[in-house]
Amino acid sequence: MERENVWLKYGEEDHKALTELAEAYRQFLSAAKTERECVRESVKLARAAGYRSLEEVMASGTGLKAGDRVYADCMGKALALFQIGRAPLEMGMNLLGAHIDSPRLDLKQNPLYEDTEQALLDTHYYGGIKKYQWVAMPLALHGVVAKKDGTVVDVAIGEEDSDPVVGISDLLSHLSGEQMEKKARVVIEGEDLNVLVGSRPSKTEDEKKEQVKETILSILKEKYGMEEEDFLSAEIEVVPAGRARDFGLDRSMIMGYGQDDRICAYTSLVALLKAGSLEKTGVCLLVDKEEIGSVGATGMHSRFFENTVAEIMELCGQYSELGLRRALARSRMLSSDVSAAYDPNYPSVFEKKNSSYMGRGLVFNKYTGSRGKSGSNDASAEYMAVVRRIMDDNQVAWQTAELGKVDVGGGGTIAYITAQYGMEVIDSGIPVLNMHAPWEIGSKADIYEATKGYAAFLKDA
């Protein structure tokens, strides 16, 4: 049951649509390197497509009806968008769910220090990374600083051509004999991921001991009005510096930071924003914290989505506790997360018949998990058949996969969490190379097919 490379079937019209979509995605990926930035960019697109915030609708007192479009923002880090369908919400919704956090380095709360006339920032890595991949490369600082007076200042350093970049030094090869004897997971230790940010001492009359640190603090004070203590209420992420780029001499791919899982988040969002009239309410759910267990107020384990559905039902004049339970249980969902693309450089960890391949379309993982399906949402055969029919009826290129050989690896998504409501859920997504590395690679053809597939699901599920 080998699938054909989808590039072979494209005509001029497909190539044009694919190129436009991929360029819009590339721009989005470059602008949305944190979950906050992803929410901000998504809201811009949603409002341009006629969406109103839940707060606006509630304040207007007008309620909601079929065809209305509304979004709810959770602390600037998660987002739920709804296009109200013709059928009562109690009959269920069609959901596209993805996460918008990505592996990275976070600054510690008290990060800035000086050592031998170098100013550095302490970090704590977030999510599953290979720590050695983050050294000796240009990095940028993105995030917010919340001050005691209630003001919140956006921070972005390292993206403009005129900006400086920062980074983590690596040991020169001439002195790395002992280092190279270590296992890869400890070649660079977590406590050694210290970001170098300066080396110029300030000229002060009192000759303070940490004059380089003072230089950095004076820059932060001038640019952001920030004192050292403001780090305590800051969320600043260290991410690769630079824009997403076309990849390959044939420009068939995109290389960029954070494609796990913004490649699925963007395609899900576009599918909903461009949806026509829907029978069932269509939902795009973009959540935080998946890389560390979907915890916290902005992760999928929170009540944000459930509470928002209750508010939507109330505005539609349809709320009851039993109705809410029925709406959730009768819903269908594609848990949209990336899959590991087969890599010919590392064939030993893949099982060819059950791997995903770049250029062969949207991927469905009936189950994920690891070693005996642990932690998996295992979709039913009946639901898999429904999804197959929808994709085939809408001429969507698709494939199935597992995440590596049985005893080699595995992984999970938010699928098992929403499945607790009793809804039908299956993992779906786009194959990528370099998953969890600073620069990941995805196929433009798969982006195109995923958007078509998500749109078909919203219409026909």
How many Å apart are CA 360 and CA 356, to the nearest integer?
8
**CB count in 10 Å sphere of residue 200:** 12
pLDDT in tens, 209-244: 789 999 999 999 999 999 999 999 999 999 999 999
Cis peptide before 149 (omega within 30 of 0): no
pLDDT at 367: 83
Q: Token pair 């030094």 is at which residue?
A: 169
> Where is pLDDT greater, at 1 or 425?
425
Answer whether residue 109 shows pLDDT above 90: yes
Answer whether residue 207 shows pLDDT above 70: no
Dihedral sign of CA atoms 159, 21, 276, 385 in order: negative
Cα atoms found within 13 Å of the Cα of residue 36, Cβ hemisphere only: 15
- Cα Dmax for the chain: 76
Pick the range with the lowest mean pLDDT from 145-154, 186-195, 202-211, 261-270.
Answer: 202-211
pLDDT in tens, 290-317: 999 899 999 999 999 999 999 999 999 9
Span 82-110, average pLDDT: 97
Residue 366's pLDDT band (cuts 50, 70, 90): confident
Domains, the chain: 6-102+257-460 (3.40.630.10), 104-240 (2.30.250.10)
